[in-house]
């Protein structure tokens, strides 16, 4: 039996799909551990999709080729406009999110991208194109929501967001979408494959894996940065920084960076100015399971300071050694040139003396010959 067209599309985007359904945010949601501030930012962004989502559903309804499909889309549009939108309003009230806040928060990059691809699919006026994006939007949510353990969290904001995407009606609608795309998709395979893969890559909030749940969505509020002196970086002797130094510095620098006193204020090295140390610090912090955000903020402050002093004390000695070597090489080169020049002068002088002796000998020979003839 040949594989379903929708299964083929999912297989081509399996990496992004698996990342989405196993995302840390999903696990935190199942446990009811997502902070209210994070959940508020997430729901504000998800609520922004309703307008574009209804446009896409309307395009699918208008371009559907059967009456039964149009009825199914009409019922689902009514559900989204009523039950789902009501959930958002109740959740915003429980989380203390005002209308002004909902209007003021800017769209994140995943939100901008997914709204754009929804309207792009709707503008094609093609049933298969609209289905390709709708299948990602609904099937992926059903996939992660169906993995929720029971009992669900006590907070209705978390529990109802799961049940909205895992209930018999929603499962039936996802099956309907997949069946329709299996039927009409193969005739527009390239278009469907392109829209499907792009939609999986854009699916918020899963398009960029965060280190902590606070990073799920961007916010207009600036993050707090610790006060550090310009051009200085306070480096604790913890496992993360040691891992970063181990990746970029030699043993001499590591020994100087981590003295016995525990803390030392140093100027950021070349690796900080190039950004390499920051990447290494991220890897080291993940290995140490420590406070990455505080360390990355310190490194960012050091990076912006554009300090030029190096952490290693071996630099001046290396410079002096190189200067001494250059002087020795220069002196030796000068001696070679001078001795060579003297050798050329001596050789030329010897040649001239030889020439004089030859001319003098020739003159004496000619004079003796004249005397004998006389």
pLDDT of residue 73: 96
pLDDT of residue 311: 41
Reduced to 3 states (helix: H, G, I; strand: E, B; else coil), residue 259 is coil
Residue with tokens 């000695």: 317
* Contact predicate 268/305, CB 8 Å: yes
Query: Going residue by residue through the chain (374 aa), what tens digit of pLDDT does each one get?
Result: 678 999 999 999 998 898 888 888 898 999 999 999 999 999 999 999 889 999 999 999 999 999 999 999 999 999 999 888 999 999 999 999 999 999 999 998 888 999 999 999 999 999 999 999 999 999 999 999 999 998 999 999 999 999 999 999 999 999 999 999 999 999 999 999 999 999 998 875 554 433 333 333 333 333 344 444 444 444 444 454 454 444 444 444 444 444 443 433 344 444 433 444 444 444 444 444 445 455 556 655 555 554 444 444 444 555 666 777 777 777 777 777 777 777 777 776 676 666 666 666 655 555 555 555 55
Would you kindly state where each structural domain of the chain is located, as residue ranges? 5-215, 233-305
* Planar angle of CA 108, 109, 111, nearest 5 degrees: 65
What CATH number is given for 5-215 in this structure?
1.20.910.10
Can you read off the two tokens belonging to residue 11? 């297989």
Can you read off the two tokens belonging to residue 269? 């090295």
Preceding omega of 205 cis (within 30 degrees of 0): yes
Torsions phi, psi of 23, nearest 5?
A: -65, 150
Q: 303: burial class by Cβ within 10 Å (0-12, 13-18, 19+)?
A: middle
- Find, among 119, 139, 136, 111, the residue nearest to 58 by Cα: 119
pLDDT of residue 370: 54
pLDDT of residue 125: 93
pLDDT of residue 358: 62
């Amino acid at each position: 039996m040949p594989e379903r067209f929708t299964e083929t599309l999912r297989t081509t985007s399996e990496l992004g799909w698996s990342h989405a359904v196993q995302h840390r945010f999903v696990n935190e949601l199942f446990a009811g551990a997502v902070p209210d501030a994070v959940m508020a930012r997430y729901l504000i962004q998800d609520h922004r999709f309703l307008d574009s989502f209804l446009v896409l559903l309307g395009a699918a309804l208008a371009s559907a080729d059967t009456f039964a499909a149009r009825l199914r889309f009409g019922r689902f549009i009514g559900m989204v406009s009523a039950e789902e939108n009501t959930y958002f309003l109740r959740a915003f009230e429980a989380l203390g999110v005002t209308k002004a806040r909902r209007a003021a928060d800017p769209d994140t990059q995943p939100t901008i991208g997914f709204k754009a691809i929804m309207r792009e699919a709707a503008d094609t006026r093609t049933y298969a194109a609209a289905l390709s994006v709708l299948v990602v939007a609904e099937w992926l949510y059903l996939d992660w929501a169906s993995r929720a353990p029971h009992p669900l969290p006590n907070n209705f904001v978390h529990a109802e967001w799961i049940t909205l995407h895992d209930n018999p009606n929603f499962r039936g609608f996802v099956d309907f979408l997949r069946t329709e795309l299996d039927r009409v998709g193969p005739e527009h395979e390239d278009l469907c494959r392109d829209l499907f893969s792009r939609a999986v890559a854009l699916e918020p909030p899963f398009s960029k894996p965060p280190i902590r749940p606070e990073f799920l969505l961007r916010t207009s509020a600036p993050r707090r940065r610790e006060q550090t002196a310009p051009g200085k970086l306070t480096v604790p002797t913890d496992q993360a920084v040691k891992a970063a130094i181990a990746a970029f510095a030699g043993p001499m620098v590591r020994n100087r960076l981590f003295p016995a006193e525990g803390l030392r204020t140093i100027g950021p090295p070349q690796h900080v100015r190039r950004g390499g140390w920051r990447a290494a610090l991220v890897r080291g912090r993940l290995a140490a399971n420590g406070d990455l955000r505080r360390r990355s903020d310190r490194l960012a402050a050091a990076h912006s300071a554009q300090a030029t002093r190096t952490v290693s004390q071996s630099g001046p000695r290396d410079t002096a050694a190189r200067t001494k070597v250059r002087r020795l090489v220069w002196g030796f080169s000068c001696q070679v040139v001078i001795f060579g020049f003297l050798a050329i002068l001596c050789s030329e002088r010897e040649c001239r003396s030889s020439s004089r002796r030859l001319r003098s000998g020739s003159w004496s020979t000619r004079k003796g010959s004249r005397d004998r003839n006389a």
